[in-house]
Structure 1
Amino acid sequence: MREAERVHGAEEPILVPDGVSLGYCRVSSSDQSLEGQRRLLFEAGCYEVYADVGKSGATMKRPELEACLRALQPGNTLVVWKLDRLGRSVRGLVELLHQLQERDVQFRSLTEGIDTTTTQGMMMFTIVASVAEMERNLIVERTRAGLAATSGRGGRPPRLQEHDIEEARRLRYSEKWKLDSIAAKLKVSRSTIVRAVRSDGDSGVGYGGSKKPSHPQELPGGQSAQKTAGRGAGQSR
């Protein structure tokens, strides 16, 4: 039996026998009851249960949790009713579980079925760790993308480079290629080609300026606006 460390602000820790389980439970407000969690933890074989009352999962200062963690010794097991009783951040949970492993302390969560003393429990722990790793990577990627967009020095590169835009305009105006054919050659969408060839102001009225188009405006299906207008005028007569 080892004597646990004393934590300032918490009750004096108990003497913890070798190989026992210690439970931890928490409620966010003082008007909530701990009895349900306590009962389940004692039924799971906990030697003692630590409890924080009126402490949010996002709050780092939880004296009873700190006392419980310091009382745990190699060979002991920390048991909780549910993972979110320890905290709301997956990353924080995984870091805590890694710390317990380094101290040779096992972990059980009754609701999620995580039990690091079993092969299945270790598999669940690995899954949670993988999710946390993915969460960290996504946060890093979003942060970098946000900084790049704010600074104006990066972000997602354009679909067409400058030489591609020049080639698209040459094919359109000099070679008289259809928009769909240019899009297929450069392996982009038709709308991307439309934006590329119009970005210099050579557009119809209402897009990029008031100049009239120097060529028939192509409609879906390869038809031109002039031909369509001519047929419409003939039919109106």
Structure 2
Amino acid sequence: MTLYGYARVSTTDQDLSLQEVALRQAGCQVIRAEKKTGTQREGRTELELLLQFLRPGDTLVITRIDRLARSLKDLQDLVHELRVKGVSLRATEQPVDTSTAAGKAFLDMLGVFAEFETNLRRERQIEGIAAAKARGVYTGRKAKIDPEEVRRLHTEERLSPTAIARRLGIARSSVYRFLPGAGQA
């Protein structure tokens, strides 16, 4: 039986070192880590690589359940995949060990709370944005595309929409939004 560790934080400015230390202390020789959101599985390449690598009798070790998944469905899907492979799941900071009945029950309860926390955070964010908009201080994120630059490149430099898109690193469809009649034959 081999112990494999998985560490995750949500943003690039967060630090993985505490999780990695805890996983090494738990006996993990191989640790995969990434800085990706836990609200979805898509794009979590290190987790996918680890899931492909695990073999029957192995144990996937995490520090806390919310490092693995923030939605109950994702958590249950992951646990099911592990079970089918004959792999158990263990958390270093929580009494979770899917090789025991009590560990499985506690896992489900923690999954519910992880999803609840994510939903509360999302609700607070929506409320905060609505309040900022009401005060007139929320303007959203800055535009990535300068419409005047698109028009200038088209009229002054005589660039095609494809060339403009390449130069600005944007989609050609975005160029057409700022060039009335450019996409019509």
Give RMSD over aligned pairs.
2.2
Change (3 A) 1:125 1:57: closer
Specify the SS of the correspondent of 2:69.
coil
| Aligned counterparts of 1:123 and 1:22: Cα–Cα separation in 2 | 22
Using the TM superposition, give the Cα deviation of residue 37 of structure 1 relative to its aligned residue in structure 2, in angstroms: 0.2
Larger radius of gyration: 1
Query: In the alignment, which residue of structure 2 is the partner of 1:62?
Result: 44
What residue in structure 1 maps to residue 150 of structure 2?
none
Q: Which amino acid aligns with 1:58?
A: T
Q: Does 1:79 align with 2:61?
A: yes
- Name which structure has the greater RCO, CA cutoff 8 Å, separation 6+: 2
Aligned length: 113
Q: CA deviation at 1:116?
A: 1.5
Aligned counterparts, 1:123-142, within 5 A: 123-125=105-107, 127=109
The sequence identity of aligned pairs, in percent, is 38
TM-score w.r.t. length of structure 1: 0.44
Superposition misfits of 4+ residues, deviation over 3 angstroms: 125-129
Unmatched runs of 5 consecutive residues or more in structure 1 = 1-18, 136-237
Counterparts in 2 of 1:125 and 1:58: CA distance versus 1, 3 Å? closer
Report what 1:233 is aligned to.
Answer: none
Amino acid at match of 1:50: R
1:174-212, Cα deviation, whole Å (9 max, x unpaired): xxxxxxxxxxxxxxxxxxxxxxxxxxxxxxxxxxxxxxx
What's the CA shift for 1:26? 0.9
8 A Cα contact 2:56 2:86, kept in partner: yes
Alignment TM-score, normalising by the size of structure 2: 0.55
* Structure-to-structure mapping, 1:32-181, within 5 angstroms: 32-53=14-35, 55-59=36-40, 60-125=42-107, 127=109
For residue 128 of structure 1, report the CA deviation from its aligned partner.
Answer: 6.0
More helix by share: 2
